[in-house]
């Protein structure tokens, strides 16, 4: 899938708070940049990305869908699914400790307990007032 391959091309890019380009990304800036590259307009914060995407169960997330992480009922991180085998889910995301990288999250002691939900922006009809990213 083109979205996944494009997202993975940034592996190794450093973390930058508020970053939305290849000089450095924060988590939601990364997902926003990748989706906008394909003409899919999404909000710039992980909370709004979760709110406005088509909700799906995180176990059914497919490549290109977004997975959200959080604690104490608040979303604070987002990544793009690269693969879902049914037993493992891999995401590409920008972390403050390592920049853009791929992690398996289901069997990961850090990420698994923080999985909050998932949303899709793929094959979702656009509302008339939504930007197409071609301003």
End-to-end CA separation in angstroms for the chain: 25
Active site residue 93: yes
Lookup result for tokens 């709004």: 48
Catalytic residue among 32, 33, 57, 93: 93
Three-state DSSP state, 21: strand
Q: Are 39 and 124 in contact (CB under 8 A)?
A: no
Catalytic residue among 32, 33, 57, 77: 77
Distance separating alpha carbons of residues 125 and 112, to the nearest angstrom: 31
Active site residue 57: no
Q: Are 3 and 34 in contact (CB under 8 A)?
A: yes
Active site residue 77: yes
How many alpha carbons fall within 13 Å on the CB side of residue 63? 12
Catalytic residue among 27, 32, 33, 37: 27
What element of type H or E holds 3? Answer: helix 2-8
Catalytic residue IDs: 27, 77, 93
């Amino acid at each position: 899938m083109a979205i996944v391959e494009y997202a993975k091309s940034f592996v190794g890019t450093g973390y930058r708070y508020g970053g939305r380009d290849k000089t450095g990304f924060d988590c939601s800036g990364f997902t926003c940049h990748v989706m906008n590259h394909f003409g899919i307009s999404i909000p710039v914060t992980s909370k709004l990305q979760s709110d406005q995407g088509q909700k799906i169960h995180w176990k059914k997330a497919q490549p290109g869908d977004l997975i959200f992480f959080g604690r104490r009922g608040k979303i604070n991180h987002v990544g793009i699914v690269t693969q879902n085998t049914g037993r493992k889910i891999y995401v590409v995301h920008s972390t403050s400790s390592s920049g853009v990288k791929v992690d398996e999250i289901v069997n990961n002691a850090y990420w698994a307990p923080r999985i909050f939900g998932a949303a899709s922006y793929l094959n979702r009809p656009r509302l008339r007032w939504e930007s197409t990213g071609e301003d």
